[in-house]
A = this chain, B = another copy of it.
Amino acid sequence: MKKSIPKKTVQRLLLYYRSLNFLLQQGIKNISSKSLAGLMEIRDSQVRKDLSYFGHLGKRGAGYDVLELRDKIARILGIEQVKNVCIIGMGSLGSALAAYKGFAALGFKVRAVFDNASHKVGRKIRGYECRPMEAMEKIIRQEDIEIAVLTVPADAAQEIAVRLEKCGIKAILNFAPVKLSLSRRVKVSNVDLAMEIKTLSFFIK
Contact = CB atoms under 8 A, between A and B. Distances in A.
A199 B10 contact: yes
A198 interface: yes
B14 A83 contact: no
Count this chain's copies in the assembly: 2
Given A194-B106, A197-B149, A197-B173, A10 B189 contact: no
Interface residues of A, number: 55
Interface stretch (A46-54, A89-97, A136-144): A89-97
A64 interface: no
Interface in A52-94: 77-79, 83, 85, 91-93
Interface in A113-172: 146-147, 149, 170-171
A97 B173 contact: no
A187 to B, nearest CB: 6
A26 interface: no
B194 A7 contact: no
Contacts of A97: 193
A199 B11 CA distance: 6
A39 interface: yes
A191 B194 contact: no
A28 interface: no
Looking at A91, A179, A191, the one whose CB has the most chain B CB atoms below 10 A away is A179
Nearest to A41: B179
Interface in A1-51: 5, 7, 10-11, 14-15, 18-19, 39-41
Contact of A177 (B7, B96, B102, B198): B102
Nearest to A202: B10
Looking at A15, A192, A204, the one whose CB has the most chain B CB atoms below 10 A away is A204
13 contacts: A14-B199, A19-B179, A77-B198, A78-B202, A91-B96, A92-B95, A92-B100, A102-B177, A170-B204, A171-B204, A173-B197, A189-B199, A191-B191
